[in-house]
């Protein structure tokens, strides 16, 4: 199995956002582990309150219907799959995920998960053949709509949660760099989800989105 080429993406506590990712041309499978930011329908099969099976989720899909993604349309793993030239990975609980489709990969993400004490053991997956493992830091936690609704009176991001994210992300990058040094190869890739997300918030017009305040 060590000769297999596998690309994995992790979303630990934040948005998995890449911009553009050049995946290895020979990559044969793409596996996704994370939370609601990369869940593409697993929670549709679980008894949980964290669900994306009703509007406005999915309003920008071709069917304009919810898909189980916590998004108005595609999520980042979908875009990565497109760039790899393969069909999107299916949720691991989807009954259509048969042996043939497992050759493409699978999505094990589930909305509502948190950082567990054993999260670090996932970093050993490169020993199973993973050639690139994308690890995202946390996004701007203080800007999450739910936090804005409960913590903000003026619409600004909560500074306390923003400071927490600013403390966590550099330490994550340091750990990733140390792991790559030990392995002797850039297996782990750090994605600056905080910076990317803040760019969406401060310059939405760059991405074709305009915010209107009444």
Q: CA 35, CA 68: separation in Å to the nearest integer?
A: 12
Any domain includes 212: no
- Cβ partners under 8 Å of residue 91, min gap 6: 39, 40, 41, 42, 44, 45, 68, 97, 106, 107
* pLDDT confidence band for 4 (50 / 70 / 90): very low
Any domain includes 134: yes
Mean pLDDT throughout 89-104?
88
| pLDDT tens digits along 119-163 | 455 557 777 777 888 888 888 999 988 888 898 888 899 999 999
Q: Is the peptide bond before 56 cis (omega within 30 degrees of 0)?
A: yes
C-alpha 52: how far from its chain's center?
Answer: 15
Is residue 85 scored above 50 in pLDDT? yes
* pLDDT confidence band for 101 (50 / 70 / 90): confident
Please give the DSSP secondary-structure letter assigned to residue 89: P
How many structural domains is the chain composed of? 1
CA contacts within 13 A on the Cβ side of 106: 16
Is residue 5 scored above 50 in pLDDT? no
- 93: nearest Cα among 155, 40, 160, 172: 40
For residue 197, what are its two tokens? 């997300």
Element (H, E) at 131: strand 130-136
Percent of the chain with pLDDT over 70: 79
Is residue 53 scored above 90 in pLDDT? yes
| pLDDT tens digits along 8-45 | 554 433 333 333 344 445 557 888 888 888 899 999 99
pLDDT value for 26:
56
Any domain includes 166: yes
* pLDDT confidence band for 100 (50 / 70 / 90): confident
Domain containing 63: what range? 6-207
For residue 49, what are its two tokens? 């309150």
The structure's pTM equals: 0.69
pLDDT value for 160:
94
Residue 138 has φ and ψ, to the nearest 5°, of -80, 145
| pLDDT tens digits along 165-208 | 999 999 999 999 998 998 898 888 888 889 988 888 888 888 77
Any domain includes 214: no
């Amino acid at each position: 199995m060590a000769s297999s080429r596998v690309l994995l993406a992790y979303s630990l506590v934040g948005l998995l956002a890449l911009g553009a990712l050049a995946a290895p041309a020979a990559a044969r499978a793409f596996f996704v582990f994370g939370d609601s930011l990369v869940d593409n329908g697993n929670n549709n099969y679980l008894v949980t309150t964290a669900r994306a099976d009703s509007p406005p989720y999915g309003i920008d899909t071709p069917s304009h219907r919810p898909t189980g993604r916590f998004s108005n349309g595609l999520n980042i793993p979908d875009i990565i799959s497109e760039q790899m030239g393969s069909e999107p990975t299916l949720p691991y609980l989807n009954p259509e995920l048969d042996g043939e489709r497992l050759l493409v990969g699978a999505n094990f993400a589930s909305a509502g998960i948190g950082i567990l004490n054993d999260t670090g053991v996932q970093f050993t997956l490169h020993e199973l053949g993973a050639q690139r493992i994308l690890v995202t830091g946390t996004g701007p936690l203080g800007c999450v709509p739910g936090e804005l609704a409960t913590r903000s009176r003026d619409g600004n991001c909560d500074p306390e949660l923003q400071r927490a994210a600013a403390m966590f992300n550099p330490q994550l990058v340091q750990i990733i760099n140390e792991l790559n040094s030990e392995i002797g190869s850039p297996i782990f890739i750090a994605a600056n989800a905080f910076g990317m997300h803040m760019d969406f918030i401060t310059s939405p017009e760059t991405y074709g989105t305009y915010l209107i305040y009444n």
